[in-house]
Chain A
Amino acid sequence: DAGITQSPRHKVTETGTPVTLRCHQTENHRYMYWYRQDPGHGLRLIHYSYGVKDTDKGEVSDGYSVSRSKTEDFLLTLESATSSQTSVYFCATLRADTQYFGPGTRLTVL
């Protein structure tokens, strides 16, 4: 158990609405990551954080923003959701060069 929870676990929303996904960790890890998983693409990095208020872009960051106001929480926001953002989103933390993943959030944008 990586001590990671994600909320919500499932969400259905409409195009154009804002959506925020939450990742919460209990082990005080410095690094946190957001990935999206799509068939045929594996997992792709959206944004990552290397400390409170320290974030950077990943491979597929367009349309996403993140915030980390405290060590335990890393938020992913879709400012105006689009159908192309329908995906499964995973959060991960880093411990000794290894990333440990949360259970995921399935997001459907109609």
Chain B
Amino acid sequence: QQQVKQSPQSLIVQKGGISIINCAYENTAFDYFPWYQQFPGKGPALLIAIRPDVSEKKEGRFTISFNKSAKQFSLHIMDSQPGDSATYFCAASMSGATNKLIFGTGTLLAVQP
């Protein structure tokens, strides 16, 4: 019940295309859903995050879609660029005392020029 399942494991997209990464969770007590971007040799960096009181959040070319009833959320990267090539992790936590993050297994995105 603490797992966050992420798919696909890897993704190849052409420059200018849309990249879509999906995550699903079981624990309905989760109330904070961040996405992290990680480049080789670096630590994960927060990309965008959402709470379950909204169904969508957009920041530039990055959008999170959230479906509370299905317990799913997804990251859409519009107009994908080679510089977006990285590993993306979804995560979930219960805000409050400890904010422990449960991570998905990651998606390696390659944007081809």
Q: Is the CB of A98 within 8 A of B34?
A: yes
Measured between alpha carbons, how far is A92 from B91 in the docked complex, in Å? Answer: 14
Interface string of A55-98 (1 = CB under 8 A from B): 01011000000000000000000000000000000100010011
Check A100/B46 contact, CB under 8 A, given A40-B105, A42-B104.
Answer: yes
Check A58/B44 contact, CB under 8 A, given A42-B89, A43-B89, A97-B32.
Answer: no
The A/B interface has a contact count, at CB < 8 Å, of: 51
How would you classify the secondary structure of chain A's contact residues: helix, strand, loop or mixed?
strand
B88 CB, min distance to chain A CBs, angstroms: 11
Measured between alpha carbons, how far is A56 from B99 in the docked complex, in Å? Answer: 13
Chain B residues in contact with chain A, CB under 8 A?
Answer: 2, 6, 32, 34, 36, 41-46, 49, 89, 93, 95, 97-101, 103-106
A-B contact pairs, 11 of them (CB 8 A): A31-B99, A42-B103, A43-B44, A45-B100, A45-B101, A59-B2, A97-B99, A100-B46, A103-B43, A104-B41, A104-B42
| 16 more A-B residue pairs beyond the given contacts A59-B2, A99-B99, with a C-beta to C-beta distance below 8 A | A33-B101, A41-B105, A42-B103, A45-B101, A56-B98, A90-B43, A94-B99, A97-B32, A97-B95, A98-B49, A99-B46, A99-B101, A101-B43, A102-B43, A103-B42, A104-B41
